[in-house]
Every structure is written in structure tokens, then in C-alpha cells.
Amino acid sequence: MIIAERKPLEAIAGMMAPYRKVLVVGCGTCTSICFAGGAREVAMLGSLVRLARQSQGTPVEIAEVTVHRQCDAEYLLPLAPQVEAAEAVFSMACGCGVQLLAETFPARRVFPALDTKFMGVTVAPGWWAERCRGCGECVLDRTGGICPITRCSKGLLNGPCGGYRNGKCEVDPSIDCGWLLIFERLKALGELEALRAINGPKDWSVSAAGRPRSVVREDVRTYTEEATA
């Protein structure tokens, strides 16, 4: 899922300062699950800002709503009346949600209330860790199911750099060396041989560093070329 974290209250309050009527929109999927932007967080943010503004003598009217998923316009369209009634909209989804809201309601200012962090997994309740960078061409088949691009701070493709100490990464000694993890996993699988193969240079043009990407699946697509044109 996508992991995000709420922006500091001051930052949100700053963005909200010019407005007297705002709408806060939560997302019921990823950011709900990572305790950043679900119904609970929306309510909490609402009460916090209301309180803060009250005490500053500039009360603000806050409408709160949480949709099932902000990355599908179908869930956003029904918000039209509420968006209409507000001077600004604050999204508690990942960056995708914020942007789709803005695209759907071009007449309104849409602000992010969260910092979108990464794609990751739940390690334990309240603790999430990054696992995938969406590089566009997965290498996990060759690395024992551990992603070198994500888990190695330098994203090396052919074994560790010389800097690891006691199994820890030289960039941040609090994390494990990704390549050591890969080595041990392959050893446990009896597939150390796989490390002998040299991975050629990676095609970064299909990664986030390349260009805005999109995926089109002919088998599931329901729109026509003309409709999008």
C-alpha cells in the first residue's frame, strides 16, 4: 500500500489560514490503513484546526468527508456540492488523490494534508517500511525476492558496495545492508550461484526517473481513443 504521514499541524494551518470554509477529504484505502488519512484522521484534523482557529479568533468552518478511494473519479464526483460550498479543499490521500481531486474540481484550490512517503508493508501495527520503488522492471526474480533498488541505499544491482559494517548499511547504520539480506536469502534457498550472473545496466527510462508513466491494458480497457482525445 502507499504509506503517508500527516503534515505538521502548523503547515496545514498555514495553508488553511486564508480560508474560512474548507472541506477535508479523507481516503478510505491506503492512507486509512496507515493511520494518516482515514475517517478518524479527518475528524481529528478537523477538531484540531477548529480549536486552533477558535483560539486565534479566526474561526473556520470545516466540512469532513471520507471517500472510499480518492484515486477513482467516480468516488470524487459525488462530492461536487460540498466542494462547491467550500473555499478550499484539503486532501488526506496520497499525492494521486490530491491531484485527482484537483483535476476533478479545477475551480477549487486543492491542498495536500499529507506527505506521501513510499510504497510499503506493515511491519507491525504502527510501523511501516518501504519495499518497492516502482522502477518499472522488476528484478526480484534474481535477488531472492528482496529488492536491491529499495533495500540497498545506493540501489546497486551487482552486490554490495565496500562500505557495510557488521551487516549494516554505511549510509544509515541503523538499517540492514540490503545486499547482505539478499545474500543470506539466496544462501538459504541454495541459489548462491545466481549471484555470479552480472546484471547489465538497468533501463531507468521506465522508472519514475524517466517520465510520467501510464499503463494501458487493452484487455480491460473500456474507453475509446476518441473519448479521451
Partner 1 sequence: MSGTGPALIICTCGGALAGRLVFDRLAATPGFGPVMVTQDFCMPEGWRRAAVWCRQAGADVLVVAACGTPAATEALGRVATAAGLDAHRATVVDVREACAWVHPEPRWATAKGVRLIAAAAAGLTEAVRTPPPAEIIPSGRVLVVGPSRAGLAAAGRLRELGCQVVVLDPSRSDSSRASPAGDPTSPDSVPIPGRLLEVTGQAGDFTARVETAEGILDLRVGAVIVAVEPPAHVPPPDTSSLLTLLAMERWIATAGTTPSLHGKTVAFLLEDCPWPSATESALSLALSLVRQGGRSLIYYRDLGVAGRGLEERFREARHAGVTFIRMESDPPRIGERDGRWVVEVDVPGLGLFAETADVLVRGDAARPPDLGDLAEALRVDLRPDGRGPGERMPLEPVFTERPGVFWIGPSRSPCTVDQAIRHGEAAAMAALAAAAPGRRAVSVQAIVDTGRCALCLTCLRVCPHRAVTIGDGPAIEVLPAACQGCGVCAAACPAGAIQMVEAPGRRLLAELDALLSGPALDGDPIIMFACANSAVPAARTLGRLRHAYADRILLVSVPCLGRIEPEHCLRPLAAGARRVLLCGCYDRSCQHLVGPRRARMAAERAAVVAGALGLDGGAIQTASVAPVDWHRLAALLDAVAAVAEEGGAGDRAARGEAAGERAAEGSAAGERTVKVGTGKVAA
Of partner 1, ligand SF4, none, which one does residue 2 interact with (CB within 5 to 8 Å by kind)?
ligand SF4
Upper half-sphere CA count for residue 119 (Cβ side, 13 Å) = 10
Q: Which of 94, 101, 177, 182 binds ligand SF4 (CB under 6 A)?
A: 94
Task: Give 68 or 187: the residue with its C-beta nearer to ligand SF4.
Answer: 68
SS3 4: strand
Residue 114 binds: one of partner 1, ligand SF4, none (C-beta under 5 to 8 A by kind): none
* Minimum distance of ligand SF4 from residue 125's CB (angstroms): 10
Side-chain half-sphere of 211: how many Cα atoms within 13 Å? 3
Q: Note whether 105 and 83 are within 8 A (CB).
A: yes
Among 23, 41, 98, 101, binds partner 1 (CB under 8 A): 41
CB of 216 to partner 1, least distance (A): 28
Would you count residue 154 as binding ligand SF4 (CB under 6 A)?
A: no
Dist CA 227 CA 29 (whole Å): 29
Binding marks (x or -) toward ligand SF4, 16..45, rule CB under 6 A? Answer: -----------x-xxx--------------
Site string for partner 1, 52-71 (x = CB under 8 A): x--x----------x-x---
- The radius of gyration of the chain's CA atoms, rounded to the nearest angstrom, is 22
User: Distance of CA 11 to CAs 6, 58, 171, 182, Å?
Assistant: 10, 17, 29, 40
Helix (H, G, I), strand (E, B) or coil at 66: strand
Nearest alpha carbon to residue 12 among 121, 123, 89: 89
Q: In this complex, which beta carbon is closest to ligand SF4, that of residue 48 or of residue 119?
A: 119
Q: 214 — alpha (psi -120 to 50), left (phi > 0) or beta?
A: beta
Q: Give the H/E segment covering residue 76.
A: helix 73-76
Q: Is 72 in the site for partner 1 (CB under 8 A)?
A: no
Nearer to ligand SF4, 55 or 127 (CB): 127
Chain residues in the site for partner 1 (CB under 8 A) = 3, 5-6, 8-9, 28-29, 32-35, 38-41, 43-44, 47-48, 51-52, 55, 66, 68, 117-118, 120, 122-123, 125-130, 172, 174-175
